A and B are shown apart, each in its own frame.
Chain A
Amino acid sequence: SQKIEQNSEALNIQEGKTATLTCNYTNYSPAYLQWYRQDPGRGPVFLLLIRENEKEKRKERLKVTFDTTLKQSLFHITASQPADSATYLCALDMDSSYKLIFGSGTRLLVRP
């Protein structure tokens, strides 16, 4: 079955550094991949979508890459700030059925 893997260990970085989070998936070839931010006790907030024919997508301090050969997406936050501390989720529509499957997320902690 399709599986999405994100690093379960929290990523702890210093303010101003670049945070890099990884999302790996198996089996299927999704048409696009999405990244969300989730704060404790809240619903996820959509950040970026990248399509299979796009290698890279940027939005302000955020950058996402999508390698369909490696079946991997990297999510970067440059010039990180304490306010960026949250859990970041990647999500895939495995079979183009408009049903998103989410990874378990990686918690990012940015130290002042």
Chain B
Amino acid sequence: EADIYQTPRYLVIGTGKKITLECSQTMGHDKMYWYQQDPGMELHLIHYSYGVNSTEKGDLSSESTVSRIRTEHFPLTLESARPSHTSQYLCATGTGLGYTFGSGTRLTVV
């Protein structure tokens, strides 16, 4: 049974659409993260949160936004999807002594 859930697993969407990638965790952790990973490439931190109402941008600039209204929920939104947003998006949570990742959302923008 997974402790961190991401939906959808796969998403193909047209250019200009607004999308929200869902991430929920049942571990009760304050810290949550979003990483972006292209095939065969390294993970890049795009957003993180240290608790409710706390969100920060990561090292890789991203046009996406995040919110943290509840401890367990950390959704990522793209207001207007573009083909350059095609990638895998991975959500994680942890205490600093090891992250638990979700299965990821593979986003394709056509």
Cα A42 to Cα B33 in complex, Å, equals 16
| A34 and B98 contact, Cβ closer than 8 Å, known pairs A43-B103, A98-B31, A99-B58 | yes
Shortest beta-carbon contacts, A-B, top 3: A43-B101, A46-B98, A104-B42
Cα A104 to Cα B43 in complex, Å, equals 7
Q: Which residues 60-112 of A sit at the B interface, judged by CB distance below 8 A?
A: 89, 93, 98-105
Indicate if the CB atoms of B106 and A44 lie closer than 8 Å.
no
Contact size range, B: 20 to 34
| A44 and B101 contact, Cβ closer than 8 Å, known pairs A98-B50, A99-B58, A101-B59 | yes
Question: A49 an interface residue at 8 Å Cβ cutoff?
Answer: yes
Closest to B10 in A: A41
Cα A44 to Cα B99 in complex, Å, equals 9
Of A43, A49, A105, which one neighbours B104 at CB under 8 angstroms? Answer: A43
The contact sample of 28 A-B pairs, CB cut-off 8 A, is A34-B98, A41-B104, A42-B104, A43-B90, A43-B92, A44-B43, A44-B99, A44-B101, A46-B94, A46-B98, A46-B99, A49-B98, A89-B42, A98-B31, A98-B50, A98-B96, A99-B33, A99-B45, A99-B48, A99-B58, A99-B59, A100-B99, A101-B59, A102-B35, A102-B42, A104-B41, A104-B42, A105-B42
Cα A56 to Cα B104 in complex, Å, equals 32
Closest to B2 in A: A43
Cα A45 to Cα B99 in complex, Å, equals 8
Cα A32 to Cα B98 in complex, Å, equals 10
Closest to B31 in A: A98
How many A-B pairs have beta carbons closer than 8 Å: the answer is: 50
B29 → A minimal CB distance (Å): 10
Give residues in A with beta carbon < 8 Å to B. Answer: 32, 34, 36, 41-46, 49, 89, 93, 98-105
Cα A105 to Cα B101 in complex, Å, equals 16
Closest to A102 in B: B43
**Contact code string B17-41 (vs A, CB < 8 Å = 1, else 0):** 0000000000000010101000001
Indicate if the CB atoms of B102 and A43 lie closer than 8 Å.
yes
Q: Among the interface residues B43, B50, B90, which one has the most CB atoms of the partner chain A within 10 A?
A: B43
